[in-house]
Amino acid sequence: MGETTPVARRYPARSPLAGYLLRRLGTSILLLFGVTIVTFALTNLVPGNPIAAALGEGAASNPATVAAYVEKYGLDQPLPVQYATYVGNLFQGDMGTSLHTRQPVTEDLLKAVPATVEVALGSIVVSLAVGVALGSIAAYRRGRISDQVVRVISLVGLSVPTFWMALTSFNLFFLQLGIAPGSGRLSPIYAPPPHVTGLYTVDTLLAGQWESFVDAMAHLMLPVFVLSLFTIGLLTRFVRTSVLEVLDADYVRAGRAKGLSGPRMLFGYVLRGASLPILTIVGLAFGALLSGTVLVEAVFAWPGLGTYAYESSTSLDLPGIMGVGLVVGVIYLVINFIVDMLYGVLDPRVRLG
């Protein structure tokens, strides 16, 4: 029997991408914990009396009602105890009860978030399609008339106040031209579809309500149009700049010298090379769309996250404000996580670094 040589124990090789994603996931969880502390602390630092704001004049002067209210919402507990209770409840999906709507915040947000997601998704898809097209055209035709026109469009999109654009477009397309429906997510003649995803366009289709689906699509048009204008302006600028940088790169010049051109050149080489900064701005823009649509939602009576945030803050609804803060924090964390993940997929240097 010959002497055996020790063999090094072999572990399954972990891919660099998996390690990278695990690290990012761990960071996100820590950040999420930080978000709960920040939202809780900031919310409780706001000056004002939530009891007076929530109960109103008559009820706030009734000691029995105030006592019952304070006990019900745990407002008599020390702040650390309130925070511990809040975090403990969060693990069970309980974000507390809104002082404003008197409904569980989780239930409120499960209705509000899909409404905003629906309009934000529509907007980001339109913005991506138009922004990438316009930015690429401007870069390819740098200095020409078409470039100037695109840059003006971009400037207008970035400069026009969204609230004004919302009111003006609603007036023009609904009131004057009659080609857009009134406010809200559905016409009053239709009942909301059974809740599955919360996205009316999807839920109406799942329920086989074709007329309601068309109506939901019609109601989506104007908010998407208005929200897209700013994002299109932003994306067009970034795409133009990024594509211009890539167009001067050696590998693009080499590709051209070998006869590559048209869509293959654009999508296969140029846009791929320019994708990292574009991805960054798309992520930020999508986050902004999900969390910053207050004014547009107000004009179109769109019952989304922005409306809920506004109503919570004006009524000093602390659980509501914390719920919105947490959801917005999670939205940005998730988007950043996805963007980082895509970085890793698109650029090997990132996952190996």
Partner 1 sequence: MRNKNRVAAIAVGLVAAVSLAGCSSGSSNGSDLPSSLVIDTAFTLETGDPGRNYVPTGYMVSKAVYETLLDFSGSDESTPVPGLATYEQNDDATAFTFTLDEGRVFSDGSPITADDVVFSLERVKGMTESKANFLMSGIEVSKVDDRTVELTTETPSLKLPALMTNPSLAILNSEVVIANGGTTDATDAAEGFLNAESAGSGPYVIDSIDFATQVVLAENENYNGDEEIDFDRVVIRSVSESATQKMNLEGGDSHVAVDLSGDQVAGLSGDVTVTSVPSAQTIFLLLNQSPEVSGITSNPDFVEAVRYALDYDGLLELTGAGSAQATGVIPPSFLGALTDGVEQDLDRSTEQLEASGYDGETVTLEYPNDYPVGGVSFTPLAERIQSQLDAAGITVDLAPAPFTTQIDEYVNGREAFSIWFWGPDYADSANFLPFAAGDKVGLRAGWTAEMNPEIGALASAAANAVSLEEREGAFSDFAEGMQESGPFIPLIVPGSNIATADFLTGVAYNSTWTMDIAELRAK
Rule CB under 8 A: choose which of 16, 104, 121, 192 binds partner 1.
Answer: 192
The answer to whether 91 and 175 are in contact (CB under 8 A) is: no
Using rule CB under 8 A, residue 200 touches partner 1: no
* 188 in contact with partner 1 (CB under 8 A): yes
Residue 104: φ, ψ to 5°: -60, 135
- Shortest distance, position 241 Cβ to partner 1, whole Å: 32
- Give every CB contact of residue 75 below 8 A, 6+ residues apart in sequence: 50, 51, 69, 82
Is 257 an interacting residue with respect to partner 1 (CB under 8 A)?
no
Residue from the set 167, 205, 252, 350 that interacts with partner 1 by CB under 8 A: 167
Give the residue, chosen from 1, 13, 191, 257, that forms a contact with partner 1 under the rule CB under 8 A. 191
Measured CA to CA, the distance from residue 23 to residue 213 in angstroms comes to 42
348 CB-near residues (< 8 Å, 6+ apart):
none
Query: Least CB distance from residue 192 to partner 1, whole Å?
Result: 7
Beta carbons of 154 and 231 less than 8 angstroms apart: no
What would the DSSP string read from start to end of 27-54?
Answer: HHHHHHHHHHHHHHHHHHHS-S-HHHHH
Q: Is 168 in the site for partner 1 (CB under 8 A)?
A: no
Tell the smallest beta-carbon distance from residue 57 to partner 1 (Å): 7
Q: Which stretch binds partner 1 (CB under 8 A): 78-86, 127-135, 179-187, 239-247?
A: 179-187
Residues of span 10-69 touching partner 1 by CB under 8 A: 46-50, 52-53, 55-62, 64-65, 67-69
Residue 197 in contact with partner 1, rule: CB under 8 A: no
DSSP for 279-332, please give it. Answer: HHHHHHHHHHHHH--HHHHHHTT--SHHHHHHHHHHTT-HHHHHHHHHHHHHHH
Residue 133 Cβ, how far from partner 1 at the closest point, in Å?
A: 17
208 part of the interface to partner 1, by CB under 8 A: no
Q: Which stretch binds partner 1 (CB under 8 A): 4-12, 27-35, 117-125, 312-320?
A: 312-320
Q: Does 152 bind partner 1 (CB under 8 A)?
A: no
Considering the rule CB under 8 A, would residue 77 count as an interface residue with partner 1? no
Q: How far is the CB of 135 from partner 1 (least distance, A)?
A: 24
Instruction: Report, in Å, the least distance between residue 94 CB and partner 1.
Output: 16
Beta-bridge mates of residue 97: 104
Residues 6+ apart with CB under 8 A from 99: 50, 53, 54, 73, 315, 316, 317, 318, 319, 320
| d(C-alpha 296, C-alpha 221), whole Å | 13
Taking CB under 8 A as the rule, does residue 217 contact partner 1?
yes
Rounded Cα distance, 226 and 231, in Å:
10
Q: Which residues bind partner 1 (CB under 8 A)?
A: 46-50, 52-53, 55-62, 64-65, 67-69, 72, 100-103, 108, 111-112, 167, 170-171, 173-175, 178-185, 187-189, 191-192, 211, 214-215, 217-218, 221, 298-301, 303, 307-308, 311, 313-316
